[in-house]
Amino acid sequence: MVIGLSAAAYFLRSDIADFFSPPPPPDAIAINRAVDSAFVVIDAEKVSQEAAEAGGTEIPRDRLALSGSASALRANLTITRAVEKAGGTILYGVESTDGKRRWQTVTLGISAGDSLIREVVLLSRVR
């Protein structure tokens, strides 16, 4: 019986190793494409990109100024669904308003596995 179990373990060793190994990290290029495709759906008046520093590395930061009819909540949901469908995760989401309560800002950190790859800032006018 021990010989049979040993032989089965030997011949199935690659399947056993695949079962216990972690899944491969998500593709950062696919996640970035998904975010870009989500930008097409979102009703933004202006889209700009700049470099931001996070943890000593530079990552792209997209700034979307939403039109008056667009909702920051709906834009957030659209981006989150696109990122998760591509295999990425949203590391953080920070919401803030300016001192005069005229502008609402939502900042999303997008991750591929354990590293931050992109940041998206949504700006919407508070009514």
Average pLDDT, the chain: 86
Q: Which two tokens stand for residue 2?
A: 């021990």
Q: Cβ distance 86 to 78 under 8 Å?
A: no
Classify residue 61: in a domain, yes or no: yes
Per-residue pLDDT tens over the stretch 35-75: 999 999 887 888 888 888 877 888 899 999 998 777 888 99
Instruction: Give the pLDDT confidence score for residue 127 in this predicted structure.
Output: 64
Owning domain of residue 68: 25-125
Instruction: Give the pLDDT confidence score for residue 106 in this predicted structure.
Output: 93
| CATH assignment at residue 105 | 3.10.180
Q: What are phi and psi of 69, to 5 degrees?
A: -90, -10
Classify residue 58: in a domain, yes or no: yes
Classify residue 18: in a domain, yes or no: no
Per-residue pLDDT tens over the stretch 23-45: 777 888 999 999 999 999 887 88
Instruction: Give the pLDDT confidence score for residue 88 in this predicted structure.
Output: 93
Number of domains the chain is built from: 1
**DSSP secondary structure string for all residues of 60-117:** EEEEEEE-TT--HHHHHHHHHHHHHHTT-EEEEEEEEE-TTS-EEEEEEEEEETTEEE
Classify residue 38: in a domain, yes or no: yes
Instruction: Give the pLDDT confidence score for residue 29 in this predicted structure.
Output: 92
Classify residue 39: in a domain, yes or no: yes
Sign of CA dihedral 110, 116, 118, 122: positive
